[in-house]
Amino acid sequence: MVCAIRCSAILALMVSVSPFCGVLCRAEEPAQPLPESFLSFWNQPAFQQRLAESYLAETDIEPRLTVEERERLLKILNLISSDKMNDAATALQKELAQNAAASAVFDFTLANIYFQQEKLNEAAAAYRQAVQKFPKFRRAWRNLGLICIRNSDFAGAAAALTKVIELGGSDAVTYGLLGFAYASLDDHLAAESSYRMAVLLDPATMDWKMGLARSLFRQERYPEAAALCESLLRQMPDRADLWLLMANASLGMNKPLKAAEIFEWLDTLGRSTAESLLLLGDIYINEELYESAVRAYTRALEQKLSVPAERLLRASRALMARGALAESRQLLERMQQAFEGQFTDSLKVEMLKLQARIAVAEGAGSEEQIRLLEEIIAIDPLDGEALILLGQHWGKMQNPEKAVFYFERAAAIEKYEAQARIRHAQLLVQQGKYEEAIPLLRRAQQIDPRDNVREYLEQVERAAKTR
Domain membership flag for residue 369: no
Nearest residue to 361 (alpha-carbon basis) of 329, 318, 385: 329
pLDDT at 121 over 70: yes
Domain membership flag for residue 407: yes
The per-residue pLDDT of the chain, averaged, comes to 84
Domain membership flag for residue 422: yes
The beta-strand segments (E) located in 274-390 are none
Nearest residue to 188 (alpha-carbon basis) of 218, 162, 213, 210: 218
Mean pLDDT, to the nearest integer, of 385-414? 88
Cα–Cα–Cα angle for 332, 338, 344, nearest 5°? 75
Lowest mean pLDDT among 70-79, 251-260, 399-408: 70-79
Domain membership flag for residue 97: yes
The pLDDT tens digits of the residues spanning 187-240 come to 999 999 999 999 999 999 989 999 999 999 999 999 999 999 999 999 888 888
Confidence of residue 13 (pLDDT cuts 50, 70, 90): very low
- Distance between alpha carbon 384 and the CA centroid of its chain, in Å? 34
Domain boundary among 121, 151, 169: 169
User: By three-state DSSP, how is residue 269 classified?
Assistant: coil
pLDDT at 385: 83
Domain membership flag for residue 259: no
Domain boundary among 150, 169, 188: 169
Domain membership flag for residue 185: no
Q: Among positive and negative, which fits the CA dihedral 272, 274, 276, 281?
A: positive
Question: Cα–Cα distances in Å, from 65 out to 87, 88, 112, 302?
Answer: 21, 18, 18, 66
User: By three-state DSSP, how is residue 184 classified?
Assistant: helix
Find the radius of gyration of the CA atoms of the chain. Answer: 34
pLDDT at 37: 63
pLDDT at 1 over 70: no
pLDDT at 288: 93
Mean pLDDT, to the nearest integer, of 250-261? 94
Nearest residue to 370 (alpha-carbon basis) of 386, 347, 350: 386
Domain membership flag for residue 219: no
Mean pLDDT, to the nearest integer, of 113-118? 88
pLDDT at 375: 80
Nearest residue to 130 (alpha-carbon basis) of 218, 228, 55: 55
User: By three-state DSSP, how is residue 455 classified?
Assistant: helix
Query: How many whole angstroms separate alpha carbon 411 and alpha carbon 414?
Result: 7
Asked whether the beta carbons of 297 and 287 are under 8 A apart, the reply is no
pLDDT at 445: 92
pLDDT at 253 over 70: yes
Domain boundary among 169, 201, 223: 169
The pLDDT tens digits of the residues spanning 28-57 come to 444 456 666 666 666 677 666 666 656 655
Confidence of residue 157 (pLDDT cuts 50, 70, 90): very high
What proportion of the chain, given as a percentage, has pLDDT over 90? 47
pLDDT at 24 over 70: no
pLDDT at 21 over 50: no
Could you give the number of structural domains in the chain?
A: 2
pLDDT at 32: 54
Domain membership flag for residue 154: yes
The pLDDT tens digits of the residues spanning 305-337 come to 788 888 999 999 999 889 898 999 999 999 888
pLDDT at 388 over 70: yes
Confidence of residue 360 (pLDDT cuts 50, 70, 90): low
pLDDT at 228: 93
The boundaries of the domain holding residue 85 are 1-169
Nearest residue to 116 (alpha-carbon basis) of 83, 157, 90, 148: 83
The pLDDT tens digits of the residues spanning 59-84 come to 567 788 878 888 888 888 888 877 88
Lowest mean pLDDT among 246-255, 281-290, 365-374: 365-374
Mean pLDDT, to the nearest integer, of 266-280? 90
pLDDT at 364: 54
pLDDT at 51: 65
pLDDT at 407: 93
Pick from 5-19, 180-194, 299-313 the range whose average pLDDT is largest: 180-194
Looking at residue 58, which CATH number applies to its domain? 1.25.40.10
Could you write out the three-class secondary structure of 85-122? HHHHHHHHHHHHHHCCCCCHHHHHHHHHHHHHCCCHHH
Q: Among positive and negative, which fits the CA dihedral 111, 112, 115, 116?
A: negative
Q: Which residues contact 173 (CB under 8 A, 6 or more apart)?
A: 47, 50, 198, 202
